[in-house]
Amino acid sequence: MSEILKHGPLVVFGATAVGGAIAVVLTQNVVRMAFWLILSLGAMAGLFFSLNADFVGTAQLLIYVGGTLVLLIFGVMLTASGPFVSIKSSAGDLVKSGVAGGLLLTLILITACQVHWESTPAYDEVGVMSAGYNATADGNTTRPLGHAFLGARPDKDLGRPPTDHLSPGYLLPFEIVSVHLLVVLVGAAYLARAKKRKA
Amino acid sequence: MQPVGLNVYLMIAGILFVCGVVCMATKRNAIGVLMGVELVLNGANLNFVAFARYTKLGLDGQVISLFVIVLAAAEAAIALAIALNFYNNHLTIDVDRADELHG
C-alpha cells in the first residue's frame, strides 16, 4: 500500500493512459473515442514528466492534445452525419481481433519482462541528466535538446577526454522534418479545399 | 517522485501499442483507424523516452520522440484531408466501402 502511495502520480497517470486506450478500443461511438483518446494522451504527457522529459511532455500536450486531436475532432464533426457516428463491427471480427490482440499483448509483455534491464551494461538508474554541465536530475532538458537540434551535443561532449570525433547532432534531420511538415501541411490544405463540382 | 523500474513503462507502452493495433484492425470508421495509429505512435514514444531516462544513451531518445510527435501531426493532417475527400466522394466514412481498386 505504501508503495502505491509513494508512486501515486505515476499510478494515476499510468492507469489513465491504459484505461483510456482500452476505452478507445471498446467504444463504438467515434465522438466518445475522441474523448478517451484525449484522456489517454494527456496522461501520457504526465508519464513523460515523470521520466524527466519536461520538454517532450510539453510538446505532447501542445502538439498532440492541442493540435492533432483538434484536427481529429474536426474530422469527426465533418464526417459524422447520422448513421456514421457509430459503425458497428461484426461480432466475429471483434472476437478474432480480441484473441489476436491478447496473444500479441502476452508476447510483448513476456518479452519485455524477461530481460533483466538492471544487469545490462547500458542501464543507468540516475538517468538522462547524469552527464554534462546540467548535472541535476530535475528534468531541465530544454537547452540540451535545443543544442542537439542545432547539431552540438554539450551534454555528451563536455567533460570527456579530448577525442578527434564529437557526438552526432540532429541538424540535418531537423531541417528535413521541418521542410517535410511545411510540404505536408500545404498538401493537406490543397487536398482538403472545397472543389467546384462539375455538374 | 521515486524512480520505478523500466518495466512499468515498458508494460504501459506495450498495452498502448496493442490497443492501437486492435483499434486499427477492428474500427470501420476511418477516423477510428487514425486514432489507432496515434495510440501506436504514443506507445513507441513512451518506450523511447523511458529508455532515454533509464540508460546511458542520454537525450537521443527524447530527440527521436520529438521527431515522432511532429511526424504524427503531419500524418494526421494529411490523413484527415484524404478522409474528407473520401467522405465528399462516397458520402460515407466506412473504410470497407473503399474498394474501387479491388481487382
Q: For position A193, what pLDDT does the model report?
A: 79
Q: Are A42 and A61 in contact (CB under 8 A)?
A: yes
ipTM (interface pTM): 0.89
Domain span(s) for CATH 1.20.120.1200 in chain A: 1-88
Residue B3 CB coordination number (10 Å): 16
CA–CA distance, A94 with A116 (Å, rounded to integer): 35
B96 is a domain residue: no
Domain that includes residue B47, residue range: 6-91
**Cell numbers standing for residue A75:** 474530422
The residues facing A124 across adjacent strands are none
Q: Which of residues 157-186 of A touch B (CB under 8 A)?
A: 170, 173, 177, 180-181, 184-185
Chain A nearest C-alpha distance from B103 (Å): 23
B63 is a domain residue: yes
**Cell numbers standing for residue B43:** 506507445
Contact A18 B8 (CB under 8 A): no
Output the CA angle B63-B42-B48, nearest 5 degrees: 40
The residues facing B55 across adjacent strands are A123
B103 is a domain residue: no
Total structural domains in chain B?
1
Per-residue pLDDT 10s for chain A (199 aa) are 566 666 788 888 999 999 999 999 988 888 888 899 999 999 999 999 888 888 899 999 998 888 888 888 888 888 776 666 667 777 888 888 889 999 999 999 998 888 887 777 777 776 655 544 454 455 577 888 888 888 887 777 776 777 667 778 899 999 999 999 999 999 988 887 766 665 5
Q: For position A49, what pLDDT does the model report?
A: 87
Q: Among positive and negative, which fits the CA dihedral A127, A155, A140, A63?
A: negative
Q: What is the DSSP letter of B27?
A: -
Q: What is the CATH number of the domain that holds B54?
A: 1.10.287.3510
Output the CA angle A173-B44-A50, nearest 5 degrees: 100
Per-residue pLDDT 10s for chain B (103 aa) are 456 778 888 999 999 999 999 999 888 888 889 999 999 999 999 999 998 888 877 788 889 999 999 999 999 999 989 888 888 887 777 777 777 777 6
Helix, strand, coil percent values for chain A (each to nearest 5): 70, 0, 30
Query: Which of these CATH numbers, 2.70.98.10, 3.40.50.300, 1.20.120.1200, 2.170.190.11, describes A1-88?
Result: 1.20.120.1200
B12 is a domain residue: yes
**Mutation test of the interface with chain A: which of B64, B66, B91, choosing the one with the most A Cβ atoms within 10 A?**
B66
